[in-house]
Amino acid sequence: MKRALITGITGQDGAYLSKFLLEKGYDVYGAFRRTADLNVNKLRFLGVEDRIHFVPLELLEYSNICKAIEKVRPEEIYNLAAQSFVSLSFEEPVFTSEVTAIGTLRVLEAIRAINSRIKFYQASSSEMFGKVQAKPQNEATSFYPRSPYAVSKLFGHWISVNYRESYGLFACSGILFNHESPLRGLEFVTRKITYSVARIKLGLQDELKLGQLDSKRDWGYAAEYVQAMWLMLQQEKPDDYVIATGETHSVREFVEAAFEQIGIKLEWSGKGVEEKGRDAKTGKTLVSIDPQYFRPAEVDLLMGDASKAKKALGWNPKTTFKDLVGIMVESDLKLVEREKKGKGL
Ligand code: F7E
């Protein structure tokens, strides 16, 4: 039985990856921070929380990482932990870098010191392309990060490449474009939209307030993206891969598609912060702009080219944009119904 150690196990990707690896027959070890409450909601949602071995591990503390690796003796480490909210990284740039950039280096150093045969997956991000230098973006596209988060991820990416080239570590960097699901945190725009749409439908909320509506993202389904992480570590040679759908849609399109799921067609009027999205039938305002959600520097457009992963890993995204929005709205309608009855998750 292979052992995998996952940092960031309580997040969206940690939960889907755990389920996937358990189905593959792995023993799954999940790193958790002693300083934070262990929140297993996402793992519970997928019915796997009882099958995870939890191990204390703090990415800010080198000796702690070593202890965890010595105890678990994993064949594979998936480094999914990060301060991953782009907006917050402008407020907490130092903390973000400590966890997201130097945290990655600490894990790599620990692998080098303890057992350099451990395979390492680094969760890199399409945010590294930032102010994009080519369209679509692939593994050869130049990076231009636009936030402390993206700069930190770029460090994590290059230090993984560097440890592969300098010390022969089996380190892979998966450059994943935005990937969403019912388990996405509510602070991210897709889930904020689908949860709010469900609340509006069930009469618990009047309006959805958003920032930049014209940002475009390549949105895929997280459950499919974690399979690519595993595939990367099963190849003969370590390498880096872009994982994406190849399609791009604006936040505005996501909002429209989500409201369509509950039978509402939106009509837009006004410009800039005065823009409103109204129910085309009733004229009621359902979407408005709140400048607090604007970022000091924005990433306008992301669109990935995953041809390398398709060819080398045989990985292909299956869920369409419309299906993804549908899955998320349906799930949130059920959740909000339960919340309305006072039952919670
Ligand atoms: O924003 C705009 C916002 O926070 C998407 C992380 O997983 O994917 C994610 O990063 C877009 C941006 O994700 C709101 O300005 C408008 O243009 O959902 P997001 P992100 O910044 O793309 C990458 C791949 C990662 O690696 C990251 O860890 O939507 N937007 N109005 C808004 N965004 C938020 N959050 N909230 C709003 O109200």
For residue 178, report the distance from its CA to the centre of ligand 1, in Å.
Answer: 8
Say yes or no: CB of residue 215 within 6 Å of ligand 1: yes
Using the atom order of ligand 1, give the atom closest to the CA of residue 178. 24
- C-alpha to C-alpha distance for 170 and 4, rounded to whole angstroms: 14
- C-alpha to C-alpha distance for 14 and 222, rounded to whole angstroms: 10
Say yes or no: CB of residue 210 within 6 Å of ligand 1: yes
- C-alpha to C-alpha distance for 295 and 72, rounded to whole angstroms: 40
Residue 37 has what pLDDT?
A: 85
CA-proximal residue: ligand 1, atom 21 (nearest): 86
Q: Is residue 295 helix, strand or coil?
A: coil
Cis amide linkage into residue 238, ω under 30° from 0: no
CA distances in angstroms from 309 to 158, 247, 336, listed in the order given: 19, 16, 37
CA-proximal residue: ligand 1, atom 22 (nearest): 178
CA distances in angstroms from 270 to 251, 274, 275, 288, listed in the order given: 17, 5, 4, 10
pTM: 0.97
Say yes or no: CB of residue 188 within 6 Å of ligand 1: yes
Residue 345 has what pLDDT?
A: 47
Using the atom order of ligand 1, give the atom closest to the CA of residue 187. 35
Say yes or no: CB of residue 125 within 6 Å of ligand 1: yes
Say yes or no: CB of residue 154 within 6 Å of ligand 1: no
Say yes or no: CB of residue 211 within 6 Å of ligand 1: yes
Q: What is the pLDDT along the chain (345 residues), one digit of tens a residue?
A: 999 999 999 999 999 999 999 999 999 999 999 888 899 999 999 999 999 999 999 999 999 999 999 999 999 999 999 999 999 999 999 999 999 999 999 999 999 999 999 999 999 999 999 999 999 999 999 999 999 999 999 999 999 999 999 999 999 999 999 999 999 999 999 999 999 999 999 999 999 999 999 999 999 999 999 999 999 999 999 999 999 999 999 999 999 999 999 999 999 999 999 999 999 999 999 999 999 999 999 999 999 999 999 999 999 999 999 999 999 999 999 999 999 998 654
Instruction: Indicate the burial class of 250 (C-beta count within 10 angstroms; 0-12, 13-18, 19 or more).
Output: middle
CA-proximal residue: ligand 1, atom 36 (nearest): 189
The residues with which 217 forms a beta bridge, in sequence order, are 249
For residue 167, report the distance from its CA to the centre of ligand 1, in Å.
Answer: 35
Yes or no: say if 96 and 89 are a contact pair by the CB < 8 Å rule: yes
Say yes or no: CB of residue 127 within 6 Å of ligand 1: yes
Yes or no: say if 157 and 225 are a contact pair by the CB < 8 Å rule: no
- C-alpha to C-alpha distance for 336 and 332, rounded to whole angstroms: 6
Yes or no: say if 30 and 54 are a contact pair by the CB < 8 Å rule: yes
Using the atom order of ligand 1, give the atom closest to the CA of residue 191. 18
Residue type, 176: L
Alpha helices in 40-80 (DSSP H): 41-45, 62-72
- Read off the tokens for 143: 């990076």
Alpha helices in 262-320 (DSSP H): 307-313
For residue 137, report the distance from its CA to the centre of ligand 1, in Å.
Answer: 18
Say yes or no: CB of residue 212 within 6 Å of ligand 1: yes
Q: Which helix (H) or strand (E) holds 319?
A: none
- C-alpha to C-alpha distance for 166 and 111, rounded to whole angstroms: 14
